[in-house]
Each structure stands twice: as C-alpha cells, then as structure tokens.
Chain A
Amino acid sequence: MKRVISLLFIAALALLLLYVVSRMPPMGEPDIPTAVRVVPRYLEKAEEETHARNVVTGVILNYRGFDTMGEVTVIYCALAAVLAVLGREKRGRIRDYVELSGLRSSVIVRAMVSLVVPFIVLFSIYTILHGETSPGGGFQGGAVIGASMIIFTTIFGLHLSSVKVPQGFRASLEGVAVITFFLVGVLGILGGGNFLTYAWPKVSESVHPALVTWLTVLVEVGIGLGGAMVLISMLFAMVREEGADEPMA
C-alpha cells in the first residue's frame, strides 16, 4: 500500500514537472524571452550598471545577488548541520585515519604535495581576486583552497593541517561570506539605492566606478574565505577519530 501511494505520488510529481517543462519556451530558439530580453540587456548594460568587466560576475553578484546570498547561506547551514551532528574537533588532541592506519605516504608523494599545495593556494587567490575581470571568483577560489587543504590533510594528517589552519581562525571566518555579502548589500540601501544595487545617486561620478569595483572584490574575498573555511571545517569534523582523546605524541 505504501509503495503504491509513493509510486502514485512520484508519478503525479513527474507529470507536473513534465507539464511545466513542456510549457517552457523551447531551448535554443532565437525569439524566446531570455534570448530577446534578458541576454541582450545583460550584455549591453552589465558593465555600465555593475562596473564588473566580467559579465558573469556582474550577473552573479548583482542582478542575481539574492540568489548568490542564498547559496552562501546554504553552505553555511550545511556546515552548521555537520557540526551539530559530529561536533568540532578538540583542540590539540586530535588524530585521524592517516595517523591511526600507520601507513605513511611515500617520500615522493609527501614531497610532491608540499611542493604543489602552495601553488594551488596561489592560484586560488588569483581566482578570487581576479574574479571581477576573468572567469572564476569567490566560490571557485574558495573551493580550490578547500581542495588544497583536503589534499594536504589526506597526506600529512589532521594534526599538522589543524596547526596550519587553526580552529579559532576557521571559526571566526566561517560566517564571513554571509556577513560581507549582507553588509555590502545594506551599503547599497544606505547609499540611496536598493539592496545590492550600486546605483547610488549621492556618490559622485568620478568615485563611483572604483568604489563599486572594490566592493565587488570585497564580496569576492568574503565568499572565498568563508567558503574555504566552511569546506575545511566540514572535512576536519568528519575525518577526526571519535575515541582518540589522548594528546598526540
């Protein structure tokens, strides 16, 4: 009975979705609303209105700013859920599977990782700071920082990587993505415009473009740092060994 009900429910949901999709304008046609109105508008006005030389950044951080802020909040909530279930690692007395398994990686792997990780971090910093003019940005750079720390943790163990990125440092920066985004958005209201719009009537024309560019970079840095710290904290919470409370030798 339960199976029948769930099957019926899924079938009804699928029918509804298919109906909605069939009513959508066909993809790739030249005269659909997105191709006629949205895309030309973005391409023509994005640079003027958002002062972002990369239109994608303009769209993500400005036209669809609420959307991006929601995404930032979602990853923060994901971390909160992980920490609520697993808890944070105890400071200074952590071990993980790398140490407990007794299998040390070979010298070649360790040398390669310690050689490559700084360059990965450098690349991610470039991605974050250059997101305003080239593909990439806060999300991408933050993800790459997180990935580099994950590589480091899998090879050198949790203890060393929690020395490199201490808990207090992470805890104070995890919320920074949401906070910067919100503060810069409110700055738009204080300047006389809307949330996250940089159309301030009171700011003079000569300062405006530079100010907007720097605010965009600030938001990118906030998203990058916050996202990276969320990913690293999530990994640390999952990797740490439950019963290992004795201090490390």
Chain B
Amino acid sequence: MGSAWDVTLNALLLGLLLVTALLAVSARDLLAAVIVFSVYSLIMALMWQRLQAPDLALTEAALGAGVTTVLFLVAIFRTRRREEE
C-alpha cells in the first residue's frame, strides 16, 4: 500500500463525509436526511479505522449507523415525514 494511494483514499473519504454532512443538513425529506446521516456514520467508521482507532470505529458503526438511525426512523414515523415550511 503506497502513500499516494493512502492520500487519495483519505481525500475521497473526507470529500464523501463533507458531501453527506451537507446533504443530511439540507435535505427537506427527513427520511432521506436520516439515511444520508447513516451513510455519514458509516464513512466516519471507516475513517476511524484508518486513523487506527478500532474502538471508535466499532462504536460508530454500531451506534451511529445502526441504533441512532433506527431511533430517528421511529421518531419520524411517530411524527411527520416532511419538514414544515
């Protein structure tokens, strides 16, 4: 694994992080926002693993991508899917 490959992968992951973060904040459809947020957590978990923090990667994958996503989904289905203007 060369260092050029490392840098490219890091840049790609960071770029995806930015894109998903912006999408999650700007999405009008809350369901889409939650799904994008879960993708953000998944990329973040990869990022933690690349930064040699497997503890955090495990937590982020289980809590960020799994538990919070479902809790958000339940909250949405108990309220309303669309954001009010």
Chain A residues at the B interface, C-beta cutoff of 8 Å: 56, 97, 127, 135-137, 139-140, 143-144, 146-147, 150-151, 154, 231, 234-235, 238-239
Given A154-B70, A235-B74, A239-B74, verify A135-B54 contact (CB < 8 Å): yes
A97 contacts across to B, CB distance below 8 A: 77
Chain B residues at the A interface, C-beta cutoff of 8 Å: 54-55, 58-59, 62-63, 66-67, 70-71, 74-75, 77-78
Given A235-B74, A238-B74, A238-B78, verify A140-B59 contact (CB < 8 Å): yes
Taking CB as reference atom, which chain B residue is nearest A131? B55
B77 near A143 (CB under 8 angstroms)?
Answer: no
Majority secondary structure, A binding face: helix
CB distance from A98 to the nearest CB of B (A): 11
B59 near A139 (CB under 8 angstroms)?
Answer: yes
Tell me the complex Cα distance, A74–B58, Å: 20
A–B pairs, 7, beta carbons within 8 Å = A127-B58, A135-B54, A136-B58, A140-B59, A144-B62, A151-B66, A235-B74
Given A154-B70, A234-B71, A235-B74, verify A135-B59 contact (CB < 8 Å): no
